[in-house]
Homo-oligomer: A and B are copies of this chain.
Amino acid sequence: MAFPKQVRLVEVGPRDGLQNEPEPISTATKLELIDRLGAAGLSYIEAASFVSPKWVPQMADHREVMQNLARLDGVTYAALTPNLKGLEAALECGVEEVAVFGAASEAFSQKNINCSVAESLARFEPVLERAQAAGVRVRGYVSTVLGCPYEGEIAPAKVAEVSKALYEMGCYEISLGDTIGVGTPLKAKRMLEAVSREVPMAQLAAHFHDTYGQALANLYVVLEEGIAVVDSSVAGLGGCPYAKGASGNVASEDVVYLLNGLGIETGIDLDKLADTGTWITQAIGRPNRSKVGVALAAR
């Protein structure tokens, strides 16, 4: 197997990372974070989530964020839009790309978005149609691809089925999420093999959490299989909502360090990225969950 020459990082810190923060984070801080990430070379930043403030109060300022971020050339600013109402609001703010969020686990879908997997897919259809009509690309997330906090093991065939449905519905990229970070390399490889029989490898992304410390080992394996898009969060922002105090999203700095070592280009300035991680964790009073970030700051 050969590694890809280039990997695109999808930076989810401002959205997936901050959405679970218990204390309010100012719009100005979010905007500065997004700005710094772009300046560090991240070319794709998920900036906000257009969901009801009733469910995710931390993302209530999604309009202000999307309308006021400094748009850098070559950077895509995306938003999560789980339903048509959210999409319309995002479109009004000039969003360039949106994302929908499905699950490979029935129990997770029920607990997380109050509907079955099939129902969630049906809900996404009008979102996809409207986005396509507006010329906006849609990314599809599939969560719990390597395990579910409620169901435990998830069959690779189920992940492949949901991925295929989102792909056929029009999602240009499917992001495969190990939502609770329980995966290990062979499991990740088997899951990817099943999914890539249904969706082309070039349309797949890895969204791995580091809750059990396995994210980089898992990424190594899927990169070897041909994955060239990786989701990550600066400073590992976000933690794990299913295990208080544990790690969530793999840290962008740690991914970039791995990719640099593999000779894979990212266009990202690791020092600037690490400085951004140090700054945001200090600004919001959270631990820096990037080992690279901590090590570089300690030099």
Residues 243-259 of A, flagged 1 when their CB comes within 8 A of B and 0 if not, give 11111000100100110
- Chain A contact-residue range equals 35 or more
Can you report 23 A-B residue pairs in the complex whose CB atoms are below 8 A from each other? Answer: A181-B295, A184-B258, A184-B261, A185-B220, A186-B263, A187-B261, A212-B257, A212-B292, A213-B216, A213-B257, A214-B257, A214-B258, A216-B216, A217-B219, A217-B258, A240-B298, A243-B294, A245-B294, A245-B298, A246-B291, A246-B295, A247-B291, A247-B295
A233 in contact (CB, < 8 A): no
Question: 8 Å CB contacts to B: which residues of A262-291?
Answer: 262-263, 290-291
A197 in contact (CB, < 8 A): no
Q: Kindly provide the distance from the CB of A217 to the nearest chain B CB, expressed in whole angstroms.
A: 4
A sample of 17 more A-B contacts (CB under 8 A), given A183-B261, A240-B295, is: A184-B258, A185-B220, A186-B263, A187-B261, A212-B292, A213-B216, A213-B251, A213-B290, A213-B291, A214-B216, A217-B217, A217-B220, A243-B294, A243-B299, A246-B294, A246-B295, A246-B298
Report how many copies the assembly holds: 2
Could you list which residues of chain A lie within 8 angstroms of chain B, going by C-beta atoms? 181, 183-187, 210-214, 216-217, 219-221, 240, 243-247, 251, 254, 257-258, 260-263, 290-292, 294-295, 298-299
Residues of B within 8 A of A251 (CB): 213
